[in-house]
Amino acid sequence: MKKETWCFIDYENLPSALEYVISNDYARILVFLGAQQKNVNIDLSKQTTAEVIKIKGVGKNNLDFHLIYYLGKCQANAGNHVEFAVFSKDTGWDNLIQFIQNEGRTCHRISTTTGSLKKAVPNAKLPIDVQPILKKLTQINKAQRPKRVDRLTNHLQSIVRSLNTTKTAKQIVEILKQHGLISVNGNRKVTYSCKIYR
pLDDT of res. 116: 41
Q: Are 109 and 120 in contact (CB under 8 A)?
A: yes
DSSP 8-state class, residue 115: S
Q: H or E element: which one contains 69?
A: helix 62-77
The CATH classification number of 4-120 equals 3.40.50
Rounded CA-CA distance 134/136 in Å is 5
Task: Check pLDDT > 70 for residue 118.
Answer: no
> Which positions ≥6 away from 55 have C-beta within 8 Å?
32, 33, 34, 35, 62, 63, 66
Q: Are 102 and 127 in contact (CB under 8 A)?
A: yes
Percent residues over pLDDT 70 in the chain:
91
Predicted confidence (pLDDT) per residue in 45-104, tens digit? 777 788 888 988 787 888 999 999 999 999 999 998 899 999 998 888 888 988 998 888
Rounded CA-CA distance 87/43 in Å is 19
Predicted confidence (pLDDT) per residue in 124-139, tens digit? 567 778 888 888 888 8
pLDDT of res. 151: 92
Q: Where are the domains of the chain?
A: 4-120, 131-196
